[in-house]
Structures are given as C-alpha cells and as structure tokens.
Amino acid sequence: MQQRRTAHAQSQLTNGKARGGRLPKYLLSGLLKCALCGSSFIISGVGRYACNGHISRGSSVCTNSVRVAKKLVDDRCLAALREELLTPDAVEQIIRKTTRLIAARNRERQPEREHLQRPLTKVETEIMNIMSAIKAGILTVSTKAELEQAEAERDEGRQAGNITPARTGALPCTGPEF
Ligand SMILES: [Zn+2]
C-alpha cells in the first residue's frame, strides 16, 4: 500500500511554463503533473497539492487521490535544483557567460559613442587653449571670434551626441582669477 501511494504521489516535473505571462501563485504551479493521468497537480485544501483530474472529474478519470504537503514537494524540488544545477562550477559558468555578454554589449555601443566623443574632445581642447590665451592676455578680436566659433561647434556636438558636458574639474584652473 505504501509503495502504491508513493507511486501515485510521484509527479513529474515538466518543461511547461506558467501560461498567460503572469507569475504563478505557487512555486510549482503548472509544473507538477500527475503520474497517472497527466493532469496538473493543483493546490487543494490548505497547503496541499492534488491531481486536478481526480479532484474535478472524479475517480473514473483518475484514481490518484493522493494529497501531498506543498511544503514537502517544494522543499524536495528546491533541494534537487540546488544540488544538481547550482553547483559551484555551474554558478561560475553563469557568471562568466553573463560577464561576456555584458562586455560584448558594451563593445557594440562603444564605436557610436567614440565617434561622437572624439570631435567634441578636440573642440573642447581648442576652447581651453583659447581660454588660456585670453588669460595670458592675448585677447584680440580674432581670439574672441575663434572662441565663439569653437563654443558653437562644441554645443552642436553635444546636442548631436546628447553628451553631458565634461565636469568643470577637467578645465584648467591655472589663474587665481578663475
Ligand atoms: Zn491524475
């Protein structure tokens, strides 16, 4: 009798996913199947799984009347998952693969950013040079025009790339007047 009960209680884990895109209410909802009729095991009563075929359509459809404690099934399944899937090797592999994927994704995005960043850096350097010239007292009409031109280019570049301005710490603060 005990053996028969055990056989009946034995449910299969399937690859099925909970349908409808919503998170299942219980850990193994939709995953446990009756070994006799293939119906899903559902929560029946307080904290117990039972065959849906037996519960809703009676013994003529499925004779599996076993009701298993939800906690027992959940604990056993989680233990098996931990032991067989989450080995240190497996975890390390997952971390390595994730790191590779993130790096590859960053590389894909990099050229676009560099393409926009390079001319902007150049024009920002130009501005800094002109500012230095002004501070050094070399302020002429042409210096001022150059500065305005460079600043306009910089703003255009920033808008195109939507790049935030370099932190003020990057600007040279050589003189006490700054
Ligand atoms: Zn059944």
For ligand 1, the distance from its centroid to the CA atom of residue 92, given in whole angstroms, is: 40
Report the C-alpha gap between 86 and 73 in whole angstroms.
19
Report the C-alpha gap between 32 and 53 in whole angstroms.
13
Give the pLDDT confidence of 98-129 residue by residue, as tens digits. 888 888 888 887 766 666 767 777 777 777 77
Query: Residue 137's pLDDT is what?
Result: 63
For ligand 1, the distance from its centroid to the CA atom of residue 48, given in whole angstroms, is: 15
What confidence tier does 13 reach under pLDDT thresholds 50, 70, 90? Answer: very low
Decide: 115 and 65 in contact? Cβ < 8 Å.
no
Give the CA angle between residues 148, 151, 152 to the nearest 5°: 85
For ligand 1, the distance from its centroid to the CA atom of residue 19, given in whole angstroms, is: 20
Query: Whole-structure pTM over 0.85, yes or no?
Result: no
For ligand 1, the distance from its centroid to the CA atom of residue 45, given in whole angstroms, is: 17
For ligand 1, the distance from its centroid to the CA atom of residue 43, given in whole angstroms, is: 13
For ligand 1, the distance from its centroid to the CA atom of residue 58, given in whole angstroms, is: 9
Which H or E element spans position 155?
helix 141-161
Query: What are the domain boundaries of the chain?
Result: 2-84, 89-170
